[in-house]
Amino acid sequence: MHSPILAPLMALVLWSFVMWAWLYATRIPAITKNKIVYDPYRPNDAFHAQLPAQVRWKADNYNNLMEQPTLFYAVVLTLAMLDAGGGLNLILAWLYVGLRVAHSLVHALINIVILRFAVFMAASIVLLLLSVRAALIVF
């Protein structure tokens, strides 16, 4: 089966790996520069508190990409299996991916919370629309 809606799904997966690489590209030098020693017996918060905020932002965003987008993957796979991966559903899927990339960039670069929240809410509404459209086909 090949459905066009699988393209935005794979784009978001690959974007997650971009954020993963960016996370380590900033975290490892910060650990080295600040001579941070990881102690597995201390809470993670103690480790993260030693990292500069701009470094933590990348890790925080990577973690965000492991949360809500899992719903996106489920909805997109459902639409692909139902042969409903074109038209408006495809547009909504690409819009969701674009908003998640924008959210990542805001989070990782400037972290203006109100802007980040606005982009997140826009993406959430798009995902909700896509989910309702999938549900209407299923039910």
Specify the pLDDT at position 48.
86
pLDDT band at 44 (very low <50, low <70, confident <90, very high): confident
SS (H, E, C) the chain: CCCCCHHHHHHHHHHHHHHHHHHHHHHHHHHHHCCCCCCCCCCHHHHHHCCCHHHHHHHHHHHHCCCCHHHHHHHHHHHHHCCCCCHHHHHHHHHHHHHHHHHHHHHHHHCCHHHHHHHHHHHHHHHHHHHHHHHHHHC
pTM for the whole thing? Answer: 0.94
Tell me the per-residue pLDDT of 84-112, one tens digit each, with 9 for 90 and over: 999 999 999 999 999 999 999 999 999 99
Residue 135 has pLDDT above 90, yes or no: yes
